Structure 1
Amino acid sequence: MNRTEQEILSQPEVWARAFDLTDQARELLVATGEHVLAIGCGTSAYMAASYARLRAAAGAGPTDAAYASELPPARRFDRLVAITRSGTTTEILQALRGPRIAERTVGVTAVTGVGLDGLVDQRLVLDFADESSVVQTRFPTTLLALIRAALGEDTDAMLAACREAVAQPLPVDPSQFHHFVFLGTDWTVGLADEAALKIREAAQAWSESYPAMEYRHGPIAVADSRSLVWMFGEPPAGLVDDVRARGATVVTSQLDPLAHLVVAQRLAVALAQARGLDPDNPRALTRSVILDPSA
């Protein structure tokens, strides 16, 4: 079993450990009444987007999300939350070193003793969720599970769903498809983006992601009998039938959407193995993007 697969399967235990930090997450990430900006790169940017939708929907306060390289211009926030597994990503550090746009800054990482340490006011460290794999799996899901717990969601239900996600058979054989599409609504759009990224990173395959209702607005034109369309949460009315009419295979699930992302992670690893690839060593990727300051 490769490292990536081992880390995927460890998620029920890792989520359970994270729930011990619910009070700290409520203080640092919920911060009721404040205007929050969450930033990240890659996977962390997708988790920032999901976090923003969840926090705002829970009534904790206005919440924006942005790529660290594309900060909103000329705005002030009460709190900036920087999500970065490694704490060394260049764009995150540059954003924090730039003009201060928030009264308070919080860093969320899986490690300490890195460049981020001196650039934020407070830290949330999920070191038990760190990964040796380049491809992120358990760190982002653990963070999002913890955020949901801090917002008052049922931790027992989340854990039960995660255990099911690592134990159930995959819903399809991914080697039968050449095109993968992931769709979400509201906070699960970030999950769809992340699932598509896992397919690209681990299996070097053609994958896309969209808000579910946007899929009919052009992207559905390339769906065919070798397309797999994976939907997070409850599909919009009529969409499943529209996709199947194109000959594509549709996967839906009653499983908690975050747990359904865990199943999608397993799908990406299975596809990589079917293609003779090593998901622990994805092409052209490193654990952290660190840019040459002279470039």
Structure 2
Amino acid sequence: MNDTAAEIASQPDTWQRSLALTDQANELIAPGERMLLLGCGTSWFVAQSLAELRERAGFGETDAVCASEFRPHRRYDRIVAVTRSGTSTEVLEALRLVPASTRTVAITAVRGEPVDNLTDTQLVLDFADERSVVQTRFPTTVLALARHAFGEDLTEAIEQARDALEASLPADPADIEHLVFLGTGWTVGLANEAALKVREAAQAYSESYPAKDFRHGPVAVAGRNSLVWSFGDTDPALDEVARAAGATTYRSKQDPLAQLVLAQRFALTMAAHRGLDPDHPRLLTRSVVLTP
């Protein structure tokens, strides 16, 4: 078993462990505050989901911005940076632009990294850190912790994640050349993350969209070697649109976070079919650290 597969399999346990950190997760609740979440790559997609979840829970206005696009033009009470390594250049550069009066928080997997000196406090999920370049358990554990802190019961999601580790894949990766992941609300971030996993691990053609936007152009490239995968409560009529284009469709009643575990397994199996090592993805490193 490679590192990525082992880390995928560990997710129900890391989610369960995260539930004990609810008090520390109060930094993500901050009722009534206006919050911004920052991240790059996977961490940006986590930020997208977190922003939707926090607003849905009624804790206040919440935005999510790719760290490289952060501009200090809007006022926020609190800025939260999601960064597994604590070393990503764009995240550090964004934090240096934050006004001193704004509270800053890092969600990270490693202690003692540069992000510590640029934030007021750190929420450290070191038990969810990863050896693999491709992130799997760290981002899902962040989301599990946040959902629990926001008042959700994660018991069923954790059990469904265990089921997802054994479930049949929705299609044979050998037959699929193109994947489209769709989401709505907080699951748009999950769709973005699932598509990224396929690109990173399997070097395959994958896209992601807010679900109803699928009809506004993306359907044009769907065909008989496409898999259209829906996360969460998306419009079932979109399956008919995809099937009319010749694509295979997949949706499930399982918790969307558990569905992401299945999507991670799909990416891993697709990588194996293509003879690729997901622990060493092409042109990627654990953290993007840019030289001046």
Please name the residue that 1:253 is paired with: 252
Q: How does 1:1-295 map to 2 (within 5 A)?
A: 1-25=1-25, 27-100=26-99, 103-293=102-292
Q: CA deviation at 1:168?
A: 1.5
Q: Partners of 1:31 and 1:21 in 2: how far apart? A: 15
Q: Partners of 2:34 and 2:137 in 1: how far apart? A: 28
Q: CA deviation at 1:101?
A: 7.2
Deviation track 1:241-292 (CA, whole Å, cap 9, x = no partner) reads 1110111000111110011001000000000000000000000000000001
Q: Partners of 2:210 and 2:71 in 1: how far apart? A: 22
* Distance change >3 Å, CA 280–CA 205, structure 1 → 2: same
Q: Partners of 1:192 and 1:102 in 2: how far apart? A: 35
Q: CA deviation at 1:98?
A: 2.0
Deviation track 1:18-73 (CA, whole Å, cap 9, x = no partner) reads 01001211x11111111000000000000000000000011000000001111145
> Quick one: percent identity of the two aligned structures?
60
Q: Partners of 1:113 and 1:237 in 2: how far apart? A: 47
Which residue type is aligned with residue 18 of structure 2? Answer: A
Q: Partners of 2:101 and 2:161 in 1: how far apart? A: 35
User: What's the secondary structure of 2:23's corresponding residue?
Assistant: helix
Q: Partners of 2:196 and 2:98 in 1: how far apart? A: 31
The answer to whether the 8 Å contact 1:137/1:265 transfers is yes
Q: CA deviation at 1:161?
A: 1.5
RMSD (CA atoms): 1.0
Q: CA deviation at 1:235?
A: 2.7
Q: Partners of 1:85 and 1:290 in 2: how far apart? A: 13
Runs of 5+ unmatched residues, structure 1: none
Which residue type is aligned with residue 24 of structure 1? Answer: Q
User: What's the secondary structure of 1:234's corresponding residue?
Assistant: coil
Deviation track 1:134-158 (CA, whole Å, cap 9, x = no partner) reads 0000000000011000001012112
The answer to whether the 8 Å contact 2:72/2:97 transfers is no
Q: Partners of 1:167 and 1:78 in 2: how far apart? A: 43
Q: CA deviation at 1:167?
A: 2.0
The answer to whether the 8 Å contact 1:79/1:103 transfers is yes
Q: Partners of 2:35 and 2:164 in 1: how far apart? A: 31
Q: CA deviation at 1:175?
A: 1.4
Q: Partners of 1:241 and 1:153 in 2: how far apart? A: 32
Q: CA deviation at 1:103?
A: 1.7
User: What's the secondary structure of 1:228's corresponding residue?
Assistant: strand
The answer to whether the 8 Å contact 1:77/1:101 transfers is no
Q: Partners of 2:184 and 2:113 in 1: how far apart? A: 35
Which residue type is aligned with residue 241 of structure 1? Answer: E
Q: CA deviation at 1:102?
A: 5.8
Q: CA deviation at 1:78?
A: 0.5
Tell me the TM-score normalised to structure 2 length: 0.98
Runs of 5+ unmatched residues, structure 2: none
The answer to whether the 8 Å contact 1:106/1:124 transfers is yes
Q: Partners of 2:89 and 2:63 in 1: how far apart? A: 21
Q: How many residues align?
A: 292
Detail structure 1 runs of 4+ shifted over 6 Å in the superposition. Answer: none
Which residue type is aligned with residue 155 of structure 1? Answer: L
* Distance change >3 Å, CA 99–CA 79, structure 1 → 2: closer
